[in-house]
Amino acid sequence: MTAKHLFAGLALATLFQTAALAMMVKGHLDELARGTEVLLLSEQRDPRDFFKGHYSRISLAVRRIKLSEVILDEKLKQRGKDKISYPLDVFVGLKKKDGPYWQAVSIHTKPQTSGVFLKGKWWFPAGGGEFSTITYPLSRYYAPKKRAEELEALNAKSKLGVLLSISPEGNAKIVGVSVDGEIVHDEKLF
């Protein structure tokens, strides 16, 4: 193998990797551009992980939902009476109510054609209880050490919120953090 062949191979590999990275960034930007921005209340926890760095643990207020306060689709109304396997993929309908934060108003087992819906996993309430837990693929917000510690301190005395961009398919990306409804940290790529 000559140096010319080696150089051509390296150039081709570099070009391929650059194109793959560009496609990932473009996909991320497309999802942000198509999404609806929603501010959800968060409950924060310990912002440190020895192996993964500093983060704010995100526990969205729409994680624990009182079932009597939301509209359930027919399949979910039958919970406990049929053979549903859990966790179940669901779409949580969100609406802005009083104040800056959005709240859960409905839960569906299929994507809806209108409105803003956040995709998550629904867990059957123990003993047919009145609350149900829905988990979302947003569990940690990574930040530099100083910023993560600031967010932890702010959460102790203020309402910490998470600004999400939710795509029409229900996928969410974190685009910012708010304190008492005011955006204090914006994570947009450009």
For the chain of 190 residues, list the mean pLDDT of each consecutive stretch of 10: 84 90 82 79 58 64 87 78 73 88 91 90 70 81 72 71 87 82 66
Looking at the DSSP bridge assignments, the partners of residue 120 are 90
Contacts of 128 (CB under 8 A, 6+ apart): 79, 80
Residue matched to tokens 């910490």: 160
- Is the entire prediction scored with pTM above 0.85? no
Find the farthest-apart pair of alpha carbons in the chain and give their distance in angstroms, rounded.
73
What is the model's pLDDT at position 1? 67
Report which of 9, 147, 141, 120 is spatially closest to residue 65, judged by C-alpha positions.
Answer: 120
What is the model's pLDDT at position 66? 87
What is the model's pLDDT at position 118? 93
What is the model's pLDDT at position 120? 92
What is the model's pLDDT at position 141? 67
Tell me how long the chain is: 190
What is the model's pLDDT at position 79? 65
What is the model's pLDDT at position 17? 92
How many Cα atoms sit within 13 Å of 190 on the Cβ side?
A: 7
